[in-house]
Every structure is written in structure tokens, then in C-alpha cells.
Structure 1
Amino acid sequence: MTKQADERPVLSVSGLDVSFHTMRGEVKAVSDVSFDLKRGEVLALVGESGSGKSVSTRAVMGIVRGNATINAKRMELAGHDLLNIDDEQKRKLRGRVISLVFQDALSALNPVLSIGDQLGELYRTHLGISKKEARERSIELLRSVHLASADKRIDDFPHQFSGGMRQRILIASAIALKPEVLIADEPTTALDVTVQAQILDLLDELRDELGMAILLITHDLGVVARMAERVAVMYAGRLVETGNVDDIFRAPAHPYTAALMASAPRLETVEKLEPIKGSPPNLIAPPPGCAFNPRCTHLGALCTQLRPELVPAAHGRSHACHYPLVETAHVG
């Protein structure tokens, strides 16, 4: 789905590195990741589990857990330089400027507090309003995400809602303060297809109403096709291909992108799915050359010797492959 986006980036990240120090060695979870997110745009981060998608976005939000080292050349959010502000200033940006929808609503919501208390706390903490006004706003917020009987159910607890309803409540919590950037981390995981479609429709509707930019983290290519204008494919902590969704789905340049597409089910075909053979590499000791080379079916002489850089190509595309599957004219 294509909508008109403001050309100004609301989030700009360049040269992001995230590593974790363990007893076995340094885990380079994210390496040299760069992307821009425009106002009103949906950018999808795609890749297998462990590819670095969630760690990248948590580094931007300043909520990476564990013994992590984060470095970047640039991280700017709505005019704020995230590299030169302290933790308290970052905390104030969370919720008001950037917000996160987790994939597991039951774990993200506090089981011993009512939904009204959890939503109301956002308003009371950030806006300093009374408990009564916070409750009224919370009811309106639940109505905005199409939760039936919001005025009656606001005193219920998370376990009293279905999975789809809890996901709506989590989205309500994320948009309460009308952030400029919404990070949706696998927002439809474990939901049935009907509820999944409802959640995606809701995100699309809220995007139109609030003018938010959405950074969508997913492994589901169907969700990408449904929601996003641009896609960034990650493998072993690095970006391997970026571009317009239609262009990449029509003709992927990187073998990993093509393999992801071949392993995804399609309604129009009954052909056997082709799983990607092998496993993602050990990020403590990745293979030499291209990290995908042990699993790649288009292996060439350079693949085990030299790691390919992400190079810009025509039509806003880029790829990191010595032997791309399609010819793309390089830029610069």
C-alpha cells in the first residue's frame, strides 16, 4: 500500500554498531546499519530471528539490555541528537516522540494492574493531569483502537482479554501520547489471520490519523507487502538489501532476499516451499567473506574471501552482494 510521505526523515541512523560482551567473546549483533525513516512512511526491517532487527531499534530507543556497547556515526530523532543527550532526556522522548509495540502483549502488560491504571499512568506521568481526566482519556484511547465497551472494560485486567484485544491495548498504550515514530515489533505474531488483518488495518488507520512514521519489524513478507513502502533486509547483523517494496519483491538482488521469498507461502501457487538450508552464523566468529556464503546457492569466488559492502544502486535500491541476481546500476 502506497501513501504520500513527507520527504524529511524523522529518524536518521548511520553506522550503528551494537555488540554484547560475553564469556565466550564479543557478539557483534549489529554492524554498520544505516537507514532513514520519513514522516508518514512505513519502513519494514526483515530477516530471520537473530538477524539484529529488534536490537537495532532498541538501541535507537536506548533500551538495550545486557552488557552492550553501542556506537553510531549519527542517530537523530525528530531534531534530537540521540548521541549527545543523557538517559533522562532519552526517557522523556520515549512515549511522546518514539514508542514501541511489543510482540507479546501478555508479557508487556502488567498482570496485577487494570488496563485503566496502566493507560492512566502514561497520562499522569507525562502530562500531569488528574486521575479522573486520565481515566476519561484512557477510555477514549481504547475506543480509538476499536475496543468494544471501553467504558466498562477499562477496569478489567490483561488476562480477561483475548490475544487480539490485548494487542489493541498495547497499541493504544504506544500511541497514547501521539508519538512521531512508532516501532512495531512483530505486532501480529501468534494472532490468527483474521485478527492479524484487523491489527494491520488498525495500524494503517492510526498512521493516517496521527501522521506517524512506522518502523515495522517482521519476518512475515505478507505483512511487508500489506503495510510497507520500503524494506530493509537484515542478515547476521548487517543490511544486505534495501529498496522499494515493489521493486524488491519483483526482482530481489541479494540471494538471501530471494531465499526468504522462496520460503514464504503464496496463495497463487501450490509449489513446494524451499526452506533456507543451514543456520545463521555464529556472530562471535562469523565466516570469512559474506556471512551468507555457507547457505548461498549462488556462491562465487569472492564470496568466501571478501565481505561485500552495501552499495547504492539506481531507483533508491542498495545491496551487499558480489554477484547480485539482477543488474542494478551503481550510483556514485
Structure 2
Amino acid sequence: MQKQFHPVNEGLKALLNTPQSIVILSHVNADGDAIGSCLALYQYFLKKKHTVSVILPNDFPDFLKWMKGHEDIIQYKTQQEKAVPLLRGASLLVCADFNELDRLMGVKNHLSEITAKRFLIDHHLNPPVDYDYTYITDQTSSTAELVYRFIHDMNDMDLLDTAMAECIFTGIMTDTGCFSYNSSLPETYETVAHLLRTGIDKDRIFDLVYSNYSASRMRLMGYVLNEKMKVIPEWHLAYITLSKAELERYHFVPGDTEGFVNLPFSIKGIHVCGLLMERNEFIKVSLRSHGEFAVHSLCEKYFHGGGHKNAAGGEIAMPLEEAEKYFLQIMKEHEHELARLI
């Protein structure tokens, strides 16, 4: 695994020692790592006596709307009149869990108007644009774990309380599939051990995230398994496609397909899984793998995305039927690698 780590910049430390107007940003369709990271940073910067806001491009799953500060998150899609003045008045933009500005959707259109310093904290390498400060590495499970390390490197561990620890744990738990991937470094479990010592209830957090779905979501999962999952045994591959119409039939809300991409792993011999889901203007692609088959390189090369070696995603602008053919064409090009998976 490539190593790249930028410690806390002394200029950033100096900046954060004086009151700032901070806006924390994360990506469209924010997941548990994004929300957990943003809210942990939100609470941390408030404790440091800064003025802080969190702005997301759109809504996020209901099963994440229990963490402290979630009610303060501003959704650009429905609250532009509130978001834009905060962006223009910011002295520091914190970009958490993304490095591609396109993932900000409409928020991106205002960045040219903003003179604020930009700080990237992320576990994906090689940002395509320049930032004033970076705190990045791929030697971590998640951005949430990196937030923990950032607070530690700022010598502010005395500020870490149970509420912040809950947010960080949620980010780590969800971005590792409950520690089933991207979680082989000892430092991850040392971080979790410290979070537990703050008094978090990991079982309660698990239930809030994973036992909080609707009946419609369960029926959607049944439909996916019965009608939409396609298995190619000779490639050790299984994948799922979902159209907008199918999602609407089951009253889809953000977060309902969380974990669907991993379902085929329960099949003996399946080592690579995919989910292609139709959104308003693109097809969202999620890929997972076991072993040495690196899905993040496929997402970077073919789907304008990235991620971890064994868990990655991206998107592509074409009709769902064409996207499925394109996906299979890509898999065909890698069939010899796929056939060797055991």
C-alpha cells in the first residue's frame, strides 16, 4: 500500500489558535464516514471557540440523524439562502472525506467567490486540486479515524468527549463494513479502544445505524436478492443493478441501499461485488472485493472515482443499460485476474 502522510501544518496550527469562521464541507450523498467526520470536527472546532457550520450538498440518511449536531447541518440543495453567505464569509474551508470538487455538486459553483484558506482531511490520496493545508493518508480505515489522529496531533485529546467519540466510531464502523474490510491496521483498534474508554456504547450505535430501516427497505432488499442479483461464477463476480423506477417503487430514501453491494459475498466463491444504481443524472457505481483484486484502481480509471483497495466507488453519465454493458466489458478485460481469485 502506498504511504503518504502529511502531519499537521504549523501554519494551520497557528491559524486555528485564533478565532476563525469555519465551514466544513463533505460530498454529495454523504455516508457514515462523512457525517461522523464532519460532526466530530464540528464539535471540536466549537470547543476551540471558532464559529463553525457544516454544509452538505444534499440530504443524508435518517439512520445517521442521531449524532450530536446533526440538526445543525445545512443542506445546500434546500437551504441555499443560508449556505451561500456562510461560504462567502468563511475564513477556513474544511473539506472532509473527499478531494474531488465535483462531489460538492452545486456548492462547487461558489468556490471561485471564496477567499478562505482550504484544508483537506481525507483518506484518499493524490487530490486533483491544490489545498492550503492537507492532512491525508491511506494508512487508516476512514476519514473519521484520521479526524481522531488530527485531534491527537493538535494536542487536544482533552477535548475528546463521548459525543465526539460516537461520531468518530460511527465513521470507522460504517466505512469498514463493521470492521470486515479496510481495518487491518493495529492503529484502528487502538483508536477504537480509546473511543470505548470515553464511554460510548458500541452496541447502541450499531442498532441506531443498522437496526433502523423501514419495511420498504427490507422489501427492496428482498427484491434485489430475488430479481436483480446476477452471478458470474467463473469470474467470482456478482453484481446488482437498480433503476430509478425500481427505487421509487420501494419508496427509496437516502441510505436504503447501504450495504447492498456486500450482500453477494455470502455466496460461496464470490470475491468481487458491484452495485450500479441509477440517480438523477448519472449511474452510481460501488465496487467491493476480497483479496488482491484492487477495485479502487478500476473506479479511478473508468468511473471518475476512487476509494480503498477493496472498497471503492464512482459514477458514470450514461443510461443504466449501457452502464451495465460497460461494466461487464471492463470485467471482461480483467477476466484472467478474476478467474484466479480464490
TM-score of the superposed pair, with normalisation by structure 2: 0.25
Please identify the structure whose Cα radius of gyration is greater: 1
- Using CA pairs under 8 Å that are at least 6 residues apart, name the structure with larger relative contact order, 1 or 2: 1
Q: Which has the higher strand share?
A: 1
Q: Which has the higher helix share?
A: 2
TM-score of the superposed pair, with normalisation by structure 1: 0.25
